Chains A and B, each alone.
Chain A
Amino acid sequence: MFEYGGYAGKFLRLNLTDKKATTLPLTKEMARMLIGGNGFAVKILYDELKAGIDPLGPENKVVFANGPIQGTIIPTAGRNVVASKSPATGGFFDSYGGGCFGPELKYAGYDGIIVEGQAKEPTYVTVNDDDIEFKDASHLWGKMTFETQEILRKEIGDPKIQITCIGPGGEKLVKFAAVIWGARAAGRGGVGAVLGSKKLKAISVRGSQDVNVPDIDAFEKYLTELYGKIISNPGTGQALPKLGTPGVTTVQNQLGILGTNNWQTEVFDKAEKISGDVMRKNMVVRDRGCFACPIRCTKMSYVRDGPYAGTFDEGPEYETIFAFGSMCGIPSLEAIAKADLLSDEYGIDTISAGAVTAFAMECYKEGILSKDDVDGIDMTFGNDSALIEMIHKIGKREGIGDLMAEGTDRAAIKIGKGAEKFSSAIKGLEMAGHSPRGMKGFGIGVATGTRGGSHQDARPTGERIGKSPTDRFTTEGKPAYAIGTQHTTTMQDAMCVCRMTEGIYGLWEISVEHLNTINIVTGMNLSLEELALCAERIVNLERAFNCREGMNRESDVLSIRFMTEPIPEGPSKGMYYPSGELEKLKDEYYEIRGWDKKTGVPTKQKFEELGLNQEAKDFYK
C-alpha cells in the first residue's frame, strides 16, 4: 500500500503503438511536491516529451490524472484532469471534467493513465483493475459520444462502467475537440484531438479496490464540517443548487462584462431571455450532481416546443450560454441547449465552438467572408439556425467548418484581410465568458496564464463579487492578486476539486481549508508554507514547459480587441487593456514571480527555490 492515504500509488501506461500496458510507480516525493492532478500531469509531460513535437503526432502523450481525494467523499471529488501538449496553444494544457470517471479510475487502482504512441487502427481499451485489454474500435469510429458509450456499455455488459471517449470532432482532429465521459467534458485545449490522432476512441474503467485514509474518524468529522460550510454558504448552498452557473448570466450583463457579438460590446440587450431563472422556469426538469457533490449545480433541460423540441440536454452551463448566446447574439435558450447537446455529441468544446461561430459572424458582417465562403449560410448575428449548421460543419470538418475547426487564430491567418483583429484567442485559445478588459486583475492573470483564453488560471470571481482587495477598475496591486488566484486554481486542480467550491477554499490564497483536506486525506502533514510552495512549483513547471516550447514575454498578451478597443457602452464603458498598461503590470508580475523580465522565463534562483533544479538546466547551462 502507498505510504500516504488517498493515493493508489501507480499510474497505468497505455502504449498504443505496441498495445502494451505497464505501470509507473507514484513516488512519495512526487506526491509531496506536486499533490496530484495538474501537478502529476505537467511533471510527466515535462519529463517525457521533447520540445517542439507535433501535438498531433505519435510523440505527444495524454495524461489522465486524479488528486488524492478522488474516490473519497470529499465534496466535489468527482473531477479529474486530461492534459497534453495542446494543438490549440502549443503549450501544456490541463482540462477538467466532473462526473465519476476519476473516482472509478482510483477504484481500479490508478492515480492516472498515461496514453502514448499511436495505433494503426481505431482502438479502445478496457481497464478492469489489473486486467487491461486493447480492442478494435472500428465499429465505433465515426459514432457520436453518447452512442459510443451506449454501445460499449452493452458490449462490456456492465451498466456501471465508466467510459471516456471522443466523438467525430476528436477523430477529425478539430483543434478544440473535447474528451467526454457521460455528458461531462474535459472540453478545452483540444485534448480530444490528441486522442483522435492516436486513434484511441475510448477507455472504459471498472474498479473494485478501496481508497484508504489514515484516520477515518478525523476524516468523518472534517467531512461533516466541510459539508456544513458548503450548505450554509449562500453561493454553494443556495445560488448554485437553484440555478447552477447560468445564474451568473444576468449578473455579468448588469456589470457590463458579458461578451456579446464576438466581444464587440459587453452588454447584451436580450440577456434576460437567456438568464438562469428563465432557464429554470422554462426548461429545467431536474438537478444533477457529480460524484460526492452536495451542490448539484448541473441542470437537466428539456425543450418542450419550437424548432428544437425534444432536445434533452445536461446543461447548458453559463460558459455555453455565453458562447452560443450573447457571443453569437442569439437570445434563445432552446437553440443554445441544442447546440450544447450537439457539441457534446460531436465531442467539441462549446466555448471555442461559440467563439469561432461569432468570429465567422463578424467576418461575414464586415464582408471579409462572403456568403459563398460560408457555404451559403446566413451568418448574421442572432441567426440560431446558422449556429446549429456551424456545429454540424465543425464536427464533420465540412466546408466552412473545416476552416473554423482550426480555431480563430489559425482561421484568421488563412482568411487574411485583417480578420485577426476579430479573433478572441489568447495564446491560441478562444477567450471564455469573462472579460479581461472589464476586470483588471483577471486581465493580467489571463495574459500571464498557462492556458491563455481560459477562466481557470486566473479567476474573475473575487473582483465580480466585490471581495478582491481592490475593485475591478483598479490596476494597483493586481499582479499580486492575479498570482494569488493562479495559485488557488492550481491547488484546486492539483486536488481535482470543482471551482464551485472556490468560495469555501479561498479565492486568492492557499488556505487552511486546502491544507486540512489534503492532510486529512493523505496524512502527509504538510505545512501551509509547504502547500503554498506546491502550487507555486506547479505553476512554474507549467511555465517552464511553455517556455521550452518557445513561449516568452511576448506571448503574455491579450487578443487585439481587448488591448485596443474600449468597451463601447454600459457600466464598464471605456475599459480596455492598452499595451503600455499591460506591459507595466507584467514587469510587476514577473518581479513578484521571480521570472526574468526580458524573457519571461523563471530565473535560475526561482527554479532552485522550488526544487526544480533539473528543469533549470534546460534554461541555464
Chain B
Amino acid sequence: MGKVKVKLFAHLRQAAGTNEIAIEIGEKSSIKDVLEMTIKTFGPDFEKNLKDTSTGEFAPFLIMIGRKEISSVKGDLSTIVMDGDEISLLDPIGGGIK
C-alpha cells in the first residue's frame, strides 16, 4: 500500500478543479489503475477529458512517472507504480495555429 501524487496539466486542471491529487495504490497497482482511480475520484465529466466518449478508449497522451514518459495508447499502461511516485498526466492537445 502507498500513495502516488498525480499532477494534472492544461484542461485536466479545469475538469478536476485542482492541479494535483494523491491517489492510494495497492501493492501491484499499474498506471492504468491510477488513471481509473483518478477518473473515479473526479467523475464522468473528467473521464471525457481522457477517453473518447464514443469508443471509451483512452485518447493518446503522455504520462510521466518522474521523468519517464509513457504513452496512453501503446500498452505501457501496465507499468507498475511505486509508493511516492510523481505522475504527470499531460494532455492530448494538438499544436498551434498561424
Contact = CB atoms under 8 A, between A and B. Distances in A.
Interface string B31-61: 0000000000000000011111111000111
Contact of B92 (A95, A235, A471, A498): A235
A466 B49 contact: no
A574 B14 CA distance: 33
Nearest to B49: A238
A26 interface: no
A289 to B, nearest CB: 13
B10 A243 contact: yes
Given A277-B10, A464-B62, A317 B98 contact: yes
Q: Which of A234, A461, A502 has the most CB of B within 10 A?
A: A234
State the majority secondary structure of interface residues on A: helix
Nearest to A247: B10
Contact of A242 (B11, B51, B54, B63): B11
A455 B92 contact: no
A461 B98 contact: no
A237 B90 contact: no
A228 B54 contact: yes
Contacts of A500: 94, 97
A248 B91 contact: yes
B71 interface: yes
Contact of A235 (B63, B64, B69, B94): B94
A254 B93 CA distance: 14
Interface residues of A, number: 59
B60 A466 contact: yes
Contact of A239 (B49, B53, B69, B96): B49
State the majority secondary structure of interface residues on B: loop
Nearest to B10: A247
Contacts of B96: 245, 248, 317-319, 432-434, 455, 499
Q: Which of B14, B59, B94 has the most CB of A within 10 A?
A: B94
Given A239-B11, A350-B98, A455-B96, A467 B60 contact: yes
B91 A247 contact: yes
B10 A466 contact: no
A88 B8 CA distance: 39
Contacts of A22: none
A493 to B, nearest CB: 12
Interface of B: 9-11, 13-15, 48-55, 59-64, 67, 69-74, 88, 90-98
Given A239-B49, A467-B60, A472-B69, 9 more contacts: A235-B93, A250-B10, A251-B93, A255-B90, A276-B11, A499-B95, A501-B94, A503-B94, A571-B64
Interface of A: 95-98, 185, 187-188, 228-229, 231-240, 242-243, 245, 247-248, 250-251, 254-255, 275-277, 280, 317-320, 349-351, 432-434, 455, 459-461, 464-467, 471-472, 498-503, 571
